[in-house]
Amino acid sequence: MLIALSRKLALALFALLAGSIVLPAQPDTLQGLIVHPVFHGTLVLETSSGTIFVDPYGGAERFEAFGQPSLVLITHPHGDHLNAETLRGLDLTASTLIAPSAVLEKLPEDIAFAKVVALSNGEEAAIGGVGVRAVPMYNLPEEGARHPKGWGNGYILESGGQRVYISGDTEDIPEMRQLEDIDIAFVCMNLPYTMDVHQAADGVSAFRPAVVYPYHYRQGDGSFSDVELFRQMVGEKAPQVEVRLRDWYPNMD
């Protein structure tokens, strides 16, 4: 055990000296908002108004430390975003679900939320002090897309004076590139489902959030997108953007 621990410390030190360390999924606090990377496209946000679960996936045990969510956001019906097994293990009796109609049509009847709010692209809601706006997420070209326009939602959240963008499964669509005043962004990058690292870096460099987390970066063949390359590219194109690398796939290296 000591040998294994020493090896991990040595590898971490080597990565740190090389300037490319990917930190474990520890929480970050940004002006009172606590960000918890969880798994793949899943995250938890702790705000002054309550706890938000985004696309709960990977088993309910991943959420035991967070208690009951006040708000659950689901971007679209694919199983790594609308995950019935995980939802069934959560206490949702006081939780509000926000999702597109495509999700609500596939939500199993035995999963009961206190309240359900359907949002389409461009629509807004205010839940418990958190503003939520649904924004487009889709693939290009639109014809025959795995994620067609209007089928799913990205989200912009407003809480505590901060604007948080959650991309969902999208490419670097015009609607993303035209975003303004985003404090924190979570941006996907995995082929063939969303976009590659180059597209993601170019898109982020266009709308220039203060902080960006690459997430949802496991590719269709099981490999992982090069998030270090993403950081380098964003640094060259938009050096004012802080790229935070976190391990969204614990125990899957």
Calculate the alpha carbon distances from 148 to 76, 102, 137 in Å.
Answer: 11, 11, 8
36-49: pLDDT as tens digits: 999 999 999 999 99
Q: 136: exposed, middle or buried (C-beta count within 10 Å: 0-12, 13-18, 19+)?
A: buried
Class of the CATH domain delimited by 24-243: alpha beta
The pLDDT of residue 16 is 38
Tokens coding 113: 């939320």
Cis upstream peptide for 108 (omega within 30°): no
Phi and psi based region of residue 153 (left: phi greater than 0; alpha: psi -120 to 50; beta: remaining): beta
Q: 219: exposed, middle or buried (C-beta count within 10 Å: 0-12, 13-18, 19+)?
A: middle
147-182: pLDDT as tens digits: 999 999 999 999 999 999 999 999 999 999 999 999
pLDDT band at 143 (very low <50, low <70, confident <90, very high): confident
Contacts of 212 (CB under 8 A, 6+ apart): 184, 185, 186, 187, 204, 234, 241, 242, 243, 244
The pLDDT of residue 8 is 33
Tokens coding 233: 């590219």
- Residue 229, helix vs strand vs coil: helix
Q: How is the chain split into domains, by residue range? A: 24-243
195-253: pLDDT as tens digits: 999 999 999 999 999 999 999 999 989 999 999 999 999 999 999 999 999 999 987 75
The pLDDT of residue 152 is 98
Supply the pTM of this predicted model.
Answer: 0.89
101-134: pLDDT as tens digits: 999 999 999 999 999 999 999 999 999 999 999 9
Give the angle 6-10-14 at the CA atoms, nearest 5°: 175
Residue 7 scores a pLDDT above 70:
no
